[in-house]
Amino acid sequence: MRYTRREFGGVVSGGLVWAGYVKSESGAGAASRDLAQSSRIAGVRVGTQSYSFRDRGLDEAIAAMKQLGLSYCELWSGHVERPERIPVPQGGNRREATRQWRLERAVTDAKDLKKRFDDAGVTLTSYDVPFAADFTDDEITRVFEMGKALGVEVVTSSTLVSLAPRLQPFAAKAGMRVGYHNHSRISPDQIATPDDLATAMKAGPNICATLDLGHFTAANFDALAFLDAHHDRVVSMHLKDRKRDQGATLPFGEGDAPIAAVLTRMRDRKWDIPAHIEYEYRGKGTIEEMTDLLAFCRRTLETR
């Protein structure tokens, strides 16, 4: 549970549950429509990064989202590109096996994955894939095709500043956007600072930002100010609390990230940016912590 999504990617209950859910029609379609409103709180789409459920497989993660009443999800590729889905031939290597899967099977598999989420009443908002310099053009094309099969318009990525000009035409052709995800480590060609994001976004209108509040704060930047200035280019958000000065990841309200201020700003100004809870600290357990984190968001949006 101490691994970050970037590190992990290299290796391939509570009173809020179902609150207000009333099944007004029969059938799975009606259930999906009702559940789709369960974590839209005061107009803000509050969901989760599926990385929060990295302690379990995808079907178990979807079941947990349904249990918690989380109706929006950014799908982490670590839940998709698993060894059981992408076996490595004897004498082969995982990177090449993953590339071949993307080229040959990913779009078909994505349609099945979308159905699983649809059946649970969970709407996919984006797909998280770490684009790397060794991706072929065909591989990049397939990632966007996979996104379309998942029903999303955004591919979130922890990737390199220098790849933005290469990704822009692929995203434009697909009619999709890439949300560059910031981390807290400041180093050349990595996304951490406001200038890093601004440089990437200069590549074109399809290169946007996935704003991680915790990492932005830990790197000593002002996430609320960035959101005010660039809300039209923020296509996804990760709700995470961290202390400044590269500090620890903590439960909401215990760190320095302006989570409450960001949520209320989006509510009051009606900025429809999916806000994904990302549970990344060591806590009581995934369900217990996610229950508390969702309760924080609900309390903030309904009472502040």
Question: Furthest-apart CA pair in the chain: how many Å?
Answer: 58
CATH number of the domain encompassing residue 148: 3.20.20.150
The answer to whether residue 102 sits within a structural domain is yes
How far is the CA of 270 from the CAs of 40, 206, 240, in angstroms? Answer: 12, 22, 21
The answer to whether residue 304 sits within a structural domain is no
pLDDT in tens, the chain (304 residues): 333 444 434 333 233 332 333 233 334 444 444 544 689 999 999 999 999 999 999 999 999 999 999 999 999 999 999 999 999 988 999 999 999 999 999 999 999 999 999 999 999 999 999 999 999 999 999 999 999 999 999 999 999 999 999 999 999 999 999 999 999 999 999 999 999 999 999 999 999 999 999 999 999 999 999 999 999 999 999 999 999 999 999 999 999 999 999 999 999 999 999 999 999 999 999 999 999 999 999 999 999 8
Kindly report the pTM of this predicted structure.
0.88
The answer to whether residue 302 sits within a structural domain is no
Structure tokens at 304: 């502040």
The answer to whether residue 258 sits within a structural domain is yes
CA quadruple 252, 304, 266, 48: dihedral positive or negative? positive
Question: Which residue range(s) make up the domain with 269?
Answer: 5-19+26-291
The answer to whether residue 77 sits within a structural domain is yes
pLDDT digits (tens, 9 = 90+) for 237-292: 999 999 999 999 999 999 999 999 999 999 999 999 999 999 999 999 999 999 99
The answer to whether residue 204 sits within a structural domain is yes
**What are the strands, taking DSSP E only, across the chain?**
40-41, 44-49, 72-76, 123-128, 154-157, 177-181, 207-212, 234-239, 241-242, 249-250, 275-277
The answer to whether residue 82 sits within a structural domain is yes
β pairing state of 249-250 and 241-242: antiparallel
The answer to whether residue 250 sits within a structural domain is yes
Q: What span, in angstroms and rounded, lies between the C-alpha atoms of 184 and 182?
A: 7
Label residues 225-258 b or e (16+ Cβ within 10 Å = b). Answer: ebbeebbebbbbbbbbbbbeeebebbebeebbbb
Looking at the 3D structure of the chain, how many domains does it have? Answer: 1
CA quadruple 157, 158, 163, 165: dihedral positive or negative? positive
